[in-house]
């Protein structure tokens, strides 16, 4: 957590040093559809949630650099199967894996007006957004559910502390006034780091994320 805050503060300090830019914040809710790409038992997608606080550094009207801190949950669903001594299936159950992360996105976002207001002093009615970048995630904890008697459900040690990936972004912005607006966006995170320390295969996460965010008024 300290590392995440340090990186976040350094990025914000750099942005504030640029005098010819606008700065504002956005806060929102996240809904994730996660899928593990590996040879483990967790092969199916799992829907999870999260919250985000983003810092927006606007180079000019159409281009912004976005960073911040997201607290989100990743994971997967799989089948735990029991076999007897001759290899016959004798039982099992379905198990969910939950991994909580602090995630730092770094995203370059481009904007264009899709629907203008008929009144000149009013903001645009609809804005289109497209972005790309990457992310770094720090593992907070991890566990499995349901819990099995005699089995430790905390699986944090089975996963690396760091995760990283490529991030793409597409969405729309609905201005409320000249300074504030609501954003609805789809983010797709393509994991490129091996998150597992338990399995020999390369274990990555891909996540399709729906973000509903409120852009706080700009300070300029």
Please check whether residue 103 is in contact with residue 116, taking contact to mean a CB–CB distance below 8 angstroms: no
69-78 residue pLDDT tens = 999 888 777 7
Two structure tokens written together for 93: 């159950």
Percent of the chain with pLDDT strictly greater than 70: 74
pLDDT of residue 106: 92
d(CA 50, CA 120): 38
Q: What is the mean pLDDT of the chain?
A: 77
Please check whether residue 23 is in contact with residue 14, taking contact to mean a CB–CB distance below 8 angstroms: no
5-15 residue pLDDT tens = 555 555 555 54
* β pairing state of 63-83 and 46-60: antiparallel
CATH topology of domain 2-80+91-215: Porin (2.40.160)
Asked whether residue 140 carries a pLDDT value surpassing 80, the answer given is: yes
**What value does the mean pLDDT take over residues 149-176?**
82
Confidence of residue 115 (pLDDT cuts 50, 70, 90): confident
pTM of the full structure: 0.76
DSSP state of 120: T
Nearest one of 144, 146, 162, 164 to 154, comparing CA atoms: 144
* β pairing state of 126-145 and 162-175: antiparallel
Q: Where are the domains of the chain?
A: 2-80+91-215
């Amino acid at each position: 957590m300290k590392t995440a805050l340090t990186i976040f503060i350094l990025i914000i300090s750099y942005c504030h040093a640029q005098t010819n830019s606008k700065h504002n914040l956005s806060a929102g809710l996240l809904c994730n559809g996660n899928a593990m790409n590996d040879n483990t038992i967790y092969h199916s997608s799992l829907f999870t949630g999260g919250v985000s606080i983003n810092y927006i550094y606007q180079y000019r009207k159409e281009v912004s650099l976005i960073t911040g801190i997201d607290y989100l949950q990743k994971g997967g669903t799989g089948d735990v199967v029991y076999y007897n001594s001759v290899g016959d299936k004798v039982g099992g159950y379905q198990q969910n894996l939950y991994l909580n992360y602090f995630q730092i996105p770094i995203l370059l976002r481009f904007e264009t007006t899709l629907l203008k207001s008929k009144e000149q002093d009013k903001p645009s009615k609809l804005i289109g957004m497209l972005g790309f970048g990457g992310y770094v995630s720090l593992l907070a904890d991890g566990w499995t559910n349901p819990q099995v008697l005699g089995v430790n459900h905390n699986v944090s040690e089975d996963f690396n502390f760091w995760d990283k990936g490529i991030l793409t972004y597409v969405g729309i912005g609905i201005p409320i006034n000249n300074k504030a607006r609501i954003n609805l966006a789809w983010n797709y995170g393509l994991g490129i780091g091996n998150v597992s320390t338990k399995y020999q295969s390369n274990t990555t996460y891909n996540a399709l994320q729906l973000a509903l965010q409120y852009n706080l008024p700009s300070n300029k």
